[in-house]
Amino acid sequence: MSIRHGLLALLERGPRYGSQLRTEFESRTGSTWPLNVGQVYTTLGRLERDGLVAQDGEDDQGHSLYSISDEGRTELRNWFETPVDRSSPPRDELAIKLAMAVGAPGVDIRAVIQSQRHHTVKAMQDYTRLKAQALADEPANRDEVAWLLVLEQLIFQAEAEARWLDHCESRLVRLAEAAATEPETPAATPGPARTARARARR
| Half-sphere exposure at residue 61, Cβ-oriented, CA atoms within 13 angstroms | 6
pLDDT of the residue at 20: 94
Phi and psi (nearest 5°) for 165?
-65, -40
pLDDT of the residue at 190: 54
Q: 43-95 pLDDT, tens per residue?
A: 999 999 999 999 999 888 988 999 999 999 999 999 999 998 888 888 899 99
Q: What is the rounded distance in angstroms from the CA atom of residue 5 to the CA atom of residue 68?
A: 11
Percent of the chain clearing pLDDT 90 (strictly above) = 61
Q: What is the rounded distance in angstroms from the CA atom of residue 54 to the CA atom of residue 60?
A: 18
